[in-house]
Amino acid sequence: MRRILLLLLSGLITLSGVPAEAQGEFNGARALAYTREFVSIGPRWIGSPGHAKAEAFLRRQFEHDRLEEDTFTANTPEGPMPMRNFIVRFPGKKDGVIVVGTHYETNYPLRDINFVGANDGGSTTGLLVELANHLRGRTLEGYSVWLVFFDGEEAIQQWSHSDSLYGSRHLAAKWQNDGTLRRMKAFLLADMLGDRNLDVERDLNSTPSVEDVVKKAAARLGYQSYFFAKEDRVEDDHLPFVQRGVPSADVIDLDYGPQNSWHHTAQDTIDKLSAKSLTIAGNVFLETIKLLNEH
C-alpha cells in the first residue's frame, strides 16, 4: 500500500491503475532528456565504440520489456558489417500491429567530423523511448504497437538503393518471409523531429491514406501549422515496407537549419532541438495511433 501511495503522489500511476503517461500529454521534456543522454555517447557509426554504447543504451531502456535484437550481417561497399535492429513489442487486444520506427546510428561517411546526429537519429530515438512510457504496463485497447530502432539507415559510402536502409531492408524482407507483414496495419517512421523550428513535410513516397491520418491527427490537436506546408519525395526507412504493400508514412522534417545547413554536419547538436517540437511530434504519433485503431 505504501508503494502505491508513493506512486500516486509521484504521478507514475493514477487511481485507475493505468500508467500516468498513458493518459496525459506526451512529455517532450523527458524525450529531450533521453535524447541528450543518448547523444552524449558521441558519434555512433557502425563499428565504433559509440555504436556499442548506443546498443547498450537501448538495452537499458527496454530491459523489462519484450525486446528482440535482430542481428544480421550487411554486405556494404566496405565489406561485410555486423548490424543490429532493436524491436520492442507492446501487446494489444486487437489482431494486428502498428509499427513505429526510427534509426539510431550516425552517418558512416561523417565519422571523422565528430558528427553526433542530435536530430538525425538522436531526437527520434529519444522520442520512441518516451513513447514506450505511454505503452507499457498494460494491454493496449487497440492494435499491438511495436517500436523498431533500425541500424544502417545511412549510406556507408554514397547513398544509393543498395547502399542505404540496411536495417529496414533486412527486417522488411525477414517479416515478409515469416508472414509478419500481413499483420501490419501501418508503419509510422519518425525522423529528424527535434528541430526547434518544426516543419514536417508531406512525403510523396508514403501511402497517401496514412499521411492523411497524420494530417488529421495534427489538425485535431491544433498542430496543423507544423505539418505539410511543403511536400517532397523522401527516401527513408519506410521505403522497404511501402514496396511490400505496407501502408506507411514517413514523418520527417528535412528543413533543418538555414537552407537545411545543419543536416549531416557537425552543427547537428543538441542545442538545435526543443522539447516543444518533441511534444508536438509525440502527441501527433499518439493521436495517429488512436485514429488508426478506429479504422
Architecture label for domain 26-294? 3-Layer(aba) Sandwich (3.40)
The residue-averaged pLDDT of 53-78 equals 98
How high does pLDDT run on average in the chain? Answer: 93
Q: Which residues of 182-208 are buried (b: 16+ CB within 10 A; e: fewer)?
A: eebbbbbbbbbbbbeebbbbbbebbbe
Query: How confident is the model over 6-26, as a mean pLDDT?
Result: 46
Place of cell 553526433: 116
CB atoms within 10 A of CB 157: 11
Q: Residue 295: pLDDT band by 50, 70, 90 thresholds?
A: confident
First-to-last C-alpha distance (Å) of the chain: 40
Share of residues in the chain with pLDDT > 90 (%): 91
pLDDT, mean of residues 207-218: 98
Q: Which residue has better confidence, 12 or 74?
A: 74
pLDDT digits (tens, 9 = 90+) for 38-53: 999 999 999 999 999 9
Burial of 14 (0-12, 13-18, 19+ CB in 10 A): middle
Asked if residue 193 lies in contact with residue 184, where contact means CB atoms within 8 angstroms, the answer is no
The number of residues in the chain equals 295
According to DSSP, the residues that pair with 95 across neighbouring strands are none
> Which residues, including other chains, have CB under 8 Å from residue 159's CB and lie 6 or more apart?
235
Higher pLDDT: 79 or 6? It is 79
Residue 220 CB burial class (10 angstroms; 0-12, 13-18, ≥19): middle
pLDDT at 18: 38
- Mean pLDDT for the stretch of residues 213-237: 98
* pLDDT tens digit sequence for 265-290: 999 999 999 999 999 999 999 999 99
DSSP state of 235: -
pLDDT digits (tens, 9 = 90+) for 79-95: 999 999 999 999 999 99
- Residue 19: which pLDDT band, with cuts at 50, 70 and 90? very low
- Judge if pTM exceeds 0.75: yes
22 pLDDT more than 60: no
Q: Which amino acid is at 240?
A: P
Sequence ranges of the domains in the chain:
26-294
135-177: pLDDT as tens digits = 999 999 999 999 999 999 999 999 999 999 999 999 999 999 9
